[in-house]
Amino acid sequence: MQLSLNPWVTSPAESIEEDTTDVHVPPAAVISTPLKGMVEPDTADRLASRTITGTAALWVVGSHGGAGESRTADLFNGARPTGHCWPVLQNGSKPRVLLVCRADMRGLTTAQSALTQWASGAAPAVELLGLAVLADAPGKTPKTLRDFTAIVGGGAPRLWTLPWVEAWRHGDSTTTPTAREYQRFITDVTALVTETNPSTNH
């Protein structure tokens, strides 16, 4: 059997005991850094890169318009959205990045392209924390999209799937979601940012 270098093909998961610690960081996927030999996506499917002024503890990159980039950035102190571009910092340092998309086919496909771009080394040097997939509608996500989310998320260091927030639909950007998934997500990402930059206060 011929083996291919594919970050979206993972080995069967072993049984995992429930984590009872206060801080729960999703386990790292098969791919955690760019890989040599990955084929980069077509130019039309890549996210642009943009030199950004200023600093941020976390840069939030939406893989498409309407991904929830700004809403997600609002959840974290010191986070900034990038306008759907890979950030390139003027001081030459490697930015910490969270990729976000919506849980529809378009959103997941653009996220997969962005992750392929990153994995192939075609994106600027960034410290990618993971992918956050935000629900695109109220209610349960269809199984086909849930399955595709798991496949796409296998190409990111970490994956968070987040439910619909009705308050955001009505323009209330000040509401912090109370759903357990969001509380865990905020705790996870804050811990990762603090771990990579101990001087960051949250």
Whether 201 is in a domain gets the answer no
Alpha-carbon distances of 107 from 34, 62, 78, 82, rounded to whole Å: 22, 9, 25, 17
What is the SS3 assignment for 38?
coil
Residue range 164-174: average pLDDT? 82
Mean pLDDT value across the chain: 82
Whether 35 is in a domain gets the answer no
Whether 1 is in a domain gets the answer no
Whether 22 is in a domain gets the answer no
| 46 has a pLDDT exceeding 70 | yes
Tell me the C-alpha distance between 59 and 101, whole Å. 14
Whether 185 is in a domain gets the answer yes
What integer pLDDT is reported at residue 197 of this predicted model? 60
What is the SS3 assignment for 182?
helix
Tell me the C-alpha distance between 142 and 78, whole Å. 34
Alpha-carbon distances of 119 from 30, 112, 152, 161, rounded to whole Å: 11, 10, 12, 21
How many domains are contained in the chain? 1
What integer pLDDT is reported at residue 117 of this predicted model? 94
Whether 181 is in a domain gets the answer yes
- At residue 1 the predicted structure's pLDDT band, cuts being 50, 70 and 90, is very low
Does the reported pTM lie above 0.75?
yes
Tell me the C-alpha distance between 198 and 66, whole Å. 32
Residues in the chain, how many?
202
Can you give the residue range of the structural domain that contains 114?
43-196
